[in-house]
Structure 1
Amino acid sequence: MLHEPIMPAAAIPIDQRSGRRHAIVLLVGRVRHADGEAACLVHDISANGLMARFTAAPMVGDRLWIEVRGLPEVAATVRWVDGFRGGVEFDTGQDIAGVFCLRDDHGHVARTPRFTMTASASLRIADRRIAVDILDISPGGAKLRGDIPLAAGQAGSIVLPELETPMFGTICWHREDRLGFRFATPLTLANLSRVLGCG
């Protein structure tokens, strides 16, 4: 079972062979493949590929499309596997500088990939229990739909599918029937995978 917490990326150069920069990171990635979509935890990245822990063991030769913060979705091939860990080679070299930036070129906070989903959840704000629909989710929060008058900054909790323990957090924005809920503590990869139904 996966228990690694999702933590902010920390770049530590560890290899300069052949002029390629390899770095240790700890980022959630979004993986698309023939069977659907899942999450992974990226441990090591370079311009040519990455090493990650997957929620389902990959196979050498698998084709997939992977997205992490600071990179667009990249087509890739699995080159080696050790249990749930695998090495992935990108089809084309990537500029990985953006992976280590907390803000993009426009000054916006760089976002972790979001996972589209359709599920119901129970949101609690003060003494009110509110039924909401989850539209998408990431380790840091969720976009919800619910016809309820709420204000940014209100604290509360949400019970997510497949999780018994509520996630505490705050409303970070509200527009019409949509709202953003930011988790006080990011989801672990194991819990994110459970919510997505792939763990």
Structure 2
Amino acid sequence: MLDDQDDQDRPVPTAVVRERRGGQRHSIVLLIGKVCRGDHETVCLVHNISAFGLMARFTTAPVVGERLRIEVRGLPLVAGTVRWVKGVKAGFEFDEPQDVDRVFTLKQDDGRTARSPRFPIAALARLRFEGAPFTAALIDISAGGAKMMSDTPVTTGLTGQIMLPDMETPVYGTVCWTRDDSFGVRFVASLSLTTLSQVLGC
């Protein structure tokens, strides 16, 4: 479980400060990451990152020496080792140096917008865009949005309320694409670590 709630209900911004420690450039961030422990996926909140590793707050504390894989926006799923742990915060060393400038580049090489890590989910959400509320199946979710399916037709540009599973208050989002009975929703404000982990049940 989380030991504090200081990020609850806050949007998750991108990098705000760059600094140097021991000759290495570190970038202070607040970005949602995906943590893979074997076949199990959970979330973390990355506080700073360099070419050689990162420091993050985890929903469940790892242990020193544990092997993990972590994905952050702009980077692939990177393997590495936990080097230190303090509460639910831990330092993670990459197996190989990474090009962290990609974390702060919103457009990828192919011209697509860099996305936050996505988590597959099988759950229902209740939506109200126009008229009567309806139910949609959640296919995957990230801090910034979700992919859904529903028999109720929607159109690009609709904005409304979304009640995510296990949440007592709705979030707001806009339909950004549609395809057959599938559609994507971009949240008006990014989900916090606490909210996303609660939705995912981790």
Amino acid of the residue matched to residue 44 of structure 2?
Answer: C
Give the conservation status (yes or no) of the 8 Å contact 1:29–1:42: yes
Amino acid of the residue matched to residue 2 of structure 1?
Answer: Q
Calculate the TM-score normalised by the size of structure 2.
Answer: 0.92
Which residues in structure 2 correspond to 1:30-179 (within 5 Å)?
Answer: 30-34=34-38, 36-179=40-183
Alignment root-mean-square deviation, CA = 1.4
Distance 1:162 1:97 in 2: 36
Distance 1:99 1:115 in 2: 18
The answer as to 2:13 corresponding to 1:13 is no
Q: Which runs of 4+ in 1 moved over 4 A?
A: none
Distance 1:53 1:141 in 2: 21
| Partner secondary structure for residue 71 of structure 1 | coil
For residue 16 of structure 1, report the CA deviation from its aligned partner: 5.2
| Partner secondary structure for residue 97 of structure 1 | helix
| Partner secondary structure for residue 128 of structure 1 | coil
Q: How many residue pairs align between the two structures?
A: 197
| Partner secondary structure for residue 192 of structure 1 | helix
Distance 1:162 1:3 in 2: 20
Per mean C-alpha deviation after superposition, the further-off stretch among 42-51 and 99-108 is 99-108
Give the conservation status (yes or no) of the 8 Å contact 1:11–1:100: no
Q: Which runs of 5+ in 1 are unaligned?
A: none
Distance 1:103 1:112 in 2: 12
Distance 2:12 2:198 in 1: 18
1:31-72 superposed Cα distances (whole Å, 9 cap, x missing partner): 000361111110111111100001111111111100001111
* Aligned counterpart in structure 1 of residue 27 of structure 2, from 23, 26, 30: 23
For residue 7 of structure 1, report the CA deviation from its aligned partner: 2.5
